[in-house]
């Protein structure tokens, strides 16, 4: 059994990567093999809309045909049992690297065929069956009044839709259960006084880092153990 983690953060030892490592520790605790891939170490592009993955009578149905550093990673994911994805939220969305990765992973499995009068209204073209867990980190706190921003303004970004749509897409296309974990109010800078960021209270950030972040790490550990353990029952 194999668990693969994908780090969509440019950093390898900060909030997102740490939570991914905790999730992998959880998977290891039930006795499975794990590995992590850092997207910012790879030279790759997002989908180029070549549609080779949907061409009739092609051996590439359900597969991305592009050849670059991401190719071998996608091939390994088809064979794995659990996929753990991690990304910070940059400007109300996943990182560009994670978005490009998701295009290459999920679009080939997206079925353009009409299902007709069947009980299954959606049949994925993805050749494997993979459970998935998404980990998001974000600077915005749970209580947005801490930022002196009205509730209506934050609703404009519709973060919950972003998290839910990824959960639905991963579940439908990867043919397995999907869940997500959100770690908010993360500590961004080593020294807040060096940055133009007076909106944030460093003392509050430090408190969250000491009190809430360890809880989030435990939740990530539990996610990894739960997803991996489900395959061993």
Dump pLDDT digits (tens) for 5-16: 999 999 999 999
Whole-angstrom distance, CA of residue 179 vs CA of residue 134: 6
The whole-number pLDDT of residue 233 equals: 66
Q: What is the mean pLDDT of the chain?
A: 90
Q: The sheet that has 2-7: what strands, in order across it?
A: 33-38, 2-7, 82-88, 131-137, 178-183
- Give the dihedral sign, CA 218/223/228/232: positive
The whole-number pLDDT of residue 115 equals: 62
Dump pLDDT digits (tens) for 90-100: 988 999 999 99
Mean pLDDT value across residues 193-215: 91
Determine what percent of the chain is predicted with pLDDT higher than 70: 89
- Residue 4 sits at the vertex; the CA angle it makes with 97 and 181, to the nearest 5 degrees, is 70
SS3 101: helix
- Give the dihedral sign, CA 117/121/124/129: negative
Nearest CA to 78 out of 67, 98, 60, 63 is that of: 63
Whether 116 shows a pLDDT value over 70: the answer reads no
Whether 118 shows a pLDDT value over 70: the answer reads no
| Total domain count, the chain | 1
Whether 209 shows a pLDDT value over 60: the answer reads yes
Dump pLDDT digits (tens) for 136-190: 999 887 665 555 554 554 566 788 889 999 999 999 999 999 999 999 999 998 8
Whole-angstrom distance, CA of residue 17 vs CA of residue 3: 15
Mean pLDDT value across residues 15-31: 97
User: What confidence category does residue 1 fall into, taking pLDDT thresholds of 50, 70 and 90?
Assistant: confident
Whether 103 shows a pLDDT value over 90: the answer reads yes
Domain that holds residue 133: 2-230
Q: Specify the CATH number for the domain of residue 30.
A: 3.40.50.360
The whole-number pLDDT of residue 198 equals: 87
The whole-number pLDDT of residue 190 equals: 87
Whether 106 shows a pLDDT value over 90: the answer reads yes
């Amino acid at each position: 059994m194999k668990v693969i983690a994908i780090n969509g953060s440019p950093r390898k030892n900060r909030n997102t990567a740490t939570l991914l490592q905790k999730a992998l520790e959880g998977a290891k605790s039930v006795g499975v093999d794990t590995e992590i891939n850092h997207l910012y170490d790879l030279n790759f592009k997002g989908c180029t809309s070549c549609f080779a993955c949907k061409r009739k009578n092609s051996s590439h149905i359900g597969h991305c045909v592009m050849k670059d550093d991401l190719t071998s990673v996608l091939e390994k994911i088809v064979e794995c049992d659990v996929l753990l994805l991690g990304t910070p939220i940059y400007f109300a969305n996943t990182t560009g690297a994670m978005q490009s990765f998701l295009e290459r992973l999920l679009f080939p499995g997206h079925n353009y065929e009409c299902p007709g009068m069947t009980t299954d209204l959606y049949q994925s073209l993805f050749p494997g069956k993979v459970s998935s867990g998404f980990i998001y980190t974000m600077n915005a706190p749970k209580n947005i009044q801490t930022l002196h921003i009205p509730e209506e303004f934050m609703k404009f970004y519709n973060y919950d839709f972003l998290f839910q749509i990824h959960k639905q897409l991963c579940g439908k296309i990867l043919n397995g259960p999907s869940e997500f974990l959100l770690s908010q109010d993360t500590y961004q800078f080593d020294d807040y006084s060096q940055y133009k960021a007076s909106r944030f209270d460093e003392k509050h950030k430090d408190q969250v880092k000491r009190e809430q972040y360890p809880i989030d790490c435990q939740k990530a550990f539990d996610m990894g153990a739960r997803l991996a353990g489900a395959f061993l029952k």
